[in-house]
């Protein structure tokens, strides 16, 4: 049996770890609330943007933007993968990466290769083992801004324009609730209007475009894609905080259990030592 | 009562304005435009500048936008404002930056591979040394 002193130092060190995990849990909880607020704040823009895009899908007789057209043949797909910058958030990132790998394998079976752009350092360090990363951005911090994402998104869109990729997917974690996050693989391009919106606005009409349709639509669709990616990033950061909070809570609980077990072992060891000492004294006295 | 039009101004990071107005004027890319209720559908980029909204009752409110896109429907105006300052060369620079980071990471990969390899070799060497040590002790006995 381990000696009393050894057990005591072990308890001490676990207590220190527990202090850290508990602090991280609380930090994650407060950051999660803020991330959720940001998620809510960015929703109106995404909704309005989606409305406009939907209107556009009907309005438009004369000029069809390439982003709205399905390509007949898919030779290569692109992924924009949103992950966290830091670890210690349970299986959040790995679950997502597994989904992506599955998806990639499915495409590969059809002879379709994939390209990757990453947001967040976890995705960058994971995917650089398998594929070449076309662009990446890391260290977004707790308040990601749209301007941080412009570059990465543009690289993907340029590849799409050049015909290097024929489809673009966005991968991020969907915030279901605090306890559960779900990896999502969403098609960004070509942008498809949802089926249920197809019935409204039966009559023919079109916008006035200033200066001309192409210029307006180019700007608009790039912003549309960026807003979707931004939403993904914000949602993913809320997921990260929630997952970290849960993971740290589990760690603190486990540390508590360990401390209880060790305290028991320590008391037993102490008692055994006392008993032994006593019996030695008694035996000594009897010998005299 | 005067006719009104619903105005929404949003940016990617937050909602800026939402309410009814009698009219508004916005800095469209081709020049300032005034929008009144029942304006025909229009879609135009905006320059950085002021959106002036005449609210119900004649009160005026000015909101600065750093560019964006305005959609006009007969009874709804939506302004999707940019948060970032946009210019094609700035976007280009951002794209190049993202690419460069990826390439740098690729270069790093080799470094990391070497490190990992070296570490595993070191571990093997240490294990071998330990076995030799153990055998020596046994022999001495």
| Contact A83/B at CB under 8 A | no
- The two structure tokens encoding residue A143: 């308040």
| Contact A38/B at CB under 8 A | yes
Look-up: residue for tokens 């060497």?
B125
Point out the residue among B73, B96, B101 whose CB comes nearest to the CB of A137: B101
Question: Which tens digits make up the pLDDT trace of A195-218?
Answer: 545 555 555 677 888 888 888 888
Helix (H, G, I), strand (E, B) or coil at A64: coil
| A47 to A38, A72, B46: CA distances (angstroms) | 15, 29, 20
Q: List, in order, residues 6 or more apart from A14 with CB less than 8 Å away.
A: A255, A258, A259, A262
- Partner residues linked to B78 by β-bridges: B8, B71
DSSP string, A232-268: HHHHHHHHHHHHHHHHHHHHHHHHHHHHHHHHHHHHH
Q: Give the predicted TM-score (pTM) of the model.
A: 0.79
pLDDT at B6: 93
- Partner residues linked to A287 by β-bridges: none
Rounded to whole angstroms, how far apart are CA atoms B63 and B19?
Answer: 13
| Over residues B13-27, mean pLDDT | 89
CB contact under 8 A, B45 and A208: no
Q: Where are the alpha helices (DSSP H) in chain A?
A: 4-59, 92-109, 121-127, 146-161, 213-287
For residue B111, give the nearest of A128, A120, A122 by alpha carbon.
Answer: A128
CB contact under 8 A, B80 and A45: yes
Q: Which CATH architecture has domain B5-86?
A: Sandwich (2.60)
Question: Which tens digits make up the pLDDT trace of A142-168?
Answer: 888 888 888 889 899 999 989 889 999
Point out the residue among A48, A59, A135 whose CB comes nearest to the CB of B80: A48
| Contact A39/B at CB under 8 A | no
Establish whether this prediction's ipTM goes over 0.85. no
Confidence of residue B137 (pLDDT cuts 50, 70, 90): confident
Instruction: Collect all residues of chain A within an 8 Å Cβ-Cβ radius of residue B29.
Output: 210-211
Please report, for chain B, the start and end positions of each structural domain, with discontinuous segments joined by +.
5-86, 91-140
Nearest-Cα distance to chain A for B7, in Å, is 12
């Amino acid at each position: 049996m381990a000696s009393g002193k050894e057990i005591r130092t072990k308890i001490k060190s676990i207590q220190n770890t527990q202090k850290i995990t508990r602090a991280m849990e609380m930090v994650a909880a407060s950051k999660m609330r803020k991330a959720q607020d940001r998620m809510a704040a960015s929703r109106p823009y995404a909704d309005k943007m989606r409305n406009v895009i939907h209107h556009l899908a009907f309005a438009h007789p004369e000029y069809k933007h390439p982003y709205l057209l399905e390509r007949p043949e898919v030779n290569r797909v692109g992924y924009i993968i949103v992950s966290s910058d830091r670890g210690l958030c349970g299986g959040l990132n790995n679950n997502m990466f597994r989904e992506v790998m599955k998806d990639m394998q499915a495409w590969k079976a059809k002879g379709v290769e994939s390209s990757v752009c990453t947001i967040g350092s976890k995705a960058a360090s994971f995917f650089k083992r398998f594929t070449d990363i076309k662009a990446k951005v890391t260290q977004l911090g707790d308040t990601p801004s749209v301007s941080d994402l412009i570059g990465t998104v543009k690289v993907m869109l340029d590849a799409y324009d050049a015909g290097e990729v024929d489809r673009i997917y966005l991968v991020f974690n969907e915030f279901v609730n605090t306890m559960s996050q779900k990896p999502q693989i969403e098609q960004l391009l070509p942008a498809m209007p949802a089926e249920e919106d197809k019935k409204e606005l039966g009559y023919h009409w079109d916008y006035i475009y200033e200066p001309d349709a192409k210029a307006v639509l180019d700007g608009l669709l790039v912003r549309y894609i960026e807003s979707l990616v931004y939403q993904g990033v914000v949602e993913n950061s809320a997921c990260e905080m929630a997952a970290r909070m849960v993971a740290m809570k589990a760690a603190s609980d486990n540390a508590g259990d360990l401390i209880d077990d060790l305290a028991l072992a320590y008391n037993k060891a102490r008692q055994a030592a006392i008993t032994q000492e006593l019996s030695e004294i008694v035996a000594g006295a009897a010998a005299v | 009562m005067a006719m009104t039009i619903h105005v929404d101004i949003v940016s990617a990071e937050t909602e800026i304005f939402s309410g009814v107005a009698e009219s508004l004027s916005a800095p469209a890319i081709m020049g300032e435009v005034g929008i009144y209720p029942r304006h025909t559908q229009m879609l135009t980029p905006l320059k950085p500048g002021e959106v002036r909204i005449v609210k119900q009752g004649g009160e005026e409110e000015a909101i600065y936008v750093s560019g964006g896109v305005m959609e006009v429907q007969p009874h709804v105006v939506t302004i999707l404002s940019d948060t970032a300052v946009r210019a094609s060369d700035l976007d280009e620079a951002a794209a190049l930056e993202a690419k460069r980071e990826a390439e740098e990471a690729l270069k790093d990969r080799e470094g990391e591979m070497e490190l990992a390899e070296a570490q595993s070799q070191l571990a093997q060497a240490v294990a071998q040394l330990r076995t030799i040590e153990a055998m020596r002790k046994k022999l001495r006995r």
